[in-house]
Amino acid sequence: MDARETVLARARDEGVVFVHLQFMDILGITKTVAIPATQLERALAGEIMFDGSSIEGFVRIEESDRYLAPDPSTYAVFPWDGGNTCRLICDLKLPDGSPFPGCPRSALQRALDDAARDGFTFMVGAEPEFFLFQRDDAGRALLAPHDRAGYFDQGPMDRGHEARRDMVLALAGMGFSVEAAHHEVAPGQHEIDFTYAEALRTADNIATFRFVVRTIALQHGLHATFMPKPIHGQNGSGMHIHQSLHRGEKNAFAGDAGRLSETGLSFIAGVMGHIKAITAIANPLVNSYKRLVAGYEAPVYIAWSAANRSPLIRVPASRGEGRRLELRSPDPSCNPYLTLAACLAAGMEGVRSHLKPPAPVDQNIYRLSGQELRELGIESLPGSIHEAVAHLRQDALIRRTLGEHITRAFVEAKEIEWEIYQKQVHAWEVEQYLEAY
């Protein structure tokens, strides 16, 4: 029995009535086409078409027809809703069956295929954070945290623990292996970590995670947001990404005597060399740069270390097969497929060119003066999406990795977003200037 036949048999045995065909647009928003289970066989044969002209950054109206190609390995039944609805994550295809150049999942697959030609598998783990906010009587989200708890607090201070428990149960019911769940530093902020896996599966898991968390929060009368910095004066939400390359069963980042291997060091050098362009993808909102400021544990400076958490890249103490690097700048609003594709391409350039990273910085970078930072050659991440997009425009490797279609659509969307933001009159300006001038 092949994979498609297995899905059909499972759906029949599990009493599936509806099928959600999911895909992600360029800006990282998950979209769904719902079909009755009677159409599942057609869907698995790639015969379900949709109009892509209304999807952000996809196509012009005169070339709008796109086909959904479900990946049978992503079949999962929603544990809620009576268990009669399943989902399949899809790649997007052109009418001739070739990959659609605006499909983020296909962009990651291209990067993975490229690394595989050198014998490498890209392994990734993510630590996404989110906030739970209250809703008003009309169901609209309020900027009011669900609790006042802090890091690792438990109930009754952590009033979100029941919602978080149901999120973990729902994720487990969809095949996730959850490693930990806890309250984070800020009021109403939470984190759920799931198992390290091959990069495409991890990107699919991040997309699923965001959908499940928001669904279960709604069932508890709450609003879950992955907005990076919703509250001034509080820690923002990040999504640290743990990464390593494997050759077969062996971790290529594991060096002698517990050290990071030369491959791992070169991978770090590659990521650091392209991080300003990667930042546009990994931190894609105007709001993302309200998180990337000193004083709230988010990285600001381009450096690496195995000894502290202030640099951009940290090498955790794990040894052997657990050896990895932790990129601490991405936030959970990013498109996971594009972010992982960009990280892998940059790291592989470092590996292929045998690049060497600068010396590790083992002191607290936030306490260094401007002069000390300059003497150490430590630069800063871009300070705005406008600045990050300018670096993306100039980075041939990252542009090539994303593809011209995705790059063009992404840059255009972000430039429009920045222009709108720049023209707004914000509450701070009114408070600061209205009566003073």
Least confident interval from 18-27, 68-77, 106-115, 180-189? 180-189
Token pair of 84 as six digits = 């009669």
Q: What pLDDT shows up at residue 210?
A: 96
Q: Kindly indicate the confidence band of residue 324, based on its pLDDT and cuts at 50, 70 and 90.
A: very high
433: in domain: no
**Is the pLDDT assigned to residue 61 strictly greater than 70?**
no
Least confident interval from 16-25, 59-68, 93-102, 426-435? 59-68
Q: What pLDDT shows up at residue 56?
A: 57
Indicate if 94 and 122 belong to the same structural domain.
no
Look at strands 239-247 and 76-77 and give their pairing: unpaired
105: in domain: no
Looking at residue 59, which CATH number applies to its domain? 3.10.20.70
**Is the pLDDT assigned to residue 242 strictly greater than 90?**
yes
**Of 100, 129, 162, which marks where a domain is finished?**
100
Indicate if 85 and 213 belong to the same structural domain.
no
**Number of domains comprising the chain:** 2
What are 272-298's pLDDT values in tens digits? Answer: 999 999 999 999 999 999 999 876 678
What are the strands, taking DSSP E only, across 1-103? Answer: 18-24, 30-36, 48-51, 65-70, 76-77, 85-93
Q: What pLDDT shows up at residue 15?
A: 93
30: in domain: yes
**Of 100, 125, 154, which marks where a domain is finished?**
100
Residue of 199 and 66 predicted with greater confidence: 199
The contacts of residue 325 (CB under 8 Å, 6+ apart) are 242, 243, 244, 253, 260, 264, 267, 268, 271, 304, 313, 314, 315
Q: What pLDDT shows up at residue 430?
A: 93
Token pair of 198 as six digits = 């091959």
Count the alpha carbons within 13 Å of 294 in the hemisphere toward its beta carbon.
9
Look at strands 65-70 and 313-314 and give their pairing: unpaired
Indicate if 198 and 325 belong to the same structural domain.
yes
Indicate if 96 and 114 belong to the same structural domain.
no
Q: What pLDDT shows up at residue 8?
A: 94
Q: What pLDDT shows up at residue 162?
A: 86
**Of 72, 100, 128, which marks where a domain is finished?**
100
Residue of 152 and 12 predicted with greater confidence: 12
Q: What pLDDT shows up at residue 157?
A: 63
Percentage of residues in the chain having pLDDT higher than 70: 93
437: in domain: no
Structural domain boundaries, residue 62: 7-100
The mean pLDDT of the chain is 90
Indicate if 141 and 94 belong to the same structural domain.
no
Indicate if 191 and 239 belong to the same structural domain.
yes
Most confident range, picked from 76-85, 312-321, 334-343: 334-343
The residue type of 300 is V
Indicate if 139 and 179 belong to the same structural domain.
yes
Looking at residue 423, which CATH number applies to its domain? 3.30.590.10
DSSP structure class, residue 99: B
**Is the pLDDT assigned to residue 142 strictly greater than 60?**
yes
Q: Kindly indicate the confidence band of residue 319, based on its pLDDT and cuts at 50, 70 and 90.
A: low
CB 74 within 8 Å of CB 89: yes
What are 179-224's pLDDT values in tens digits? Answer: 888 888 788 899 998 889 999 999 999 999 999 999 999 999 999 9
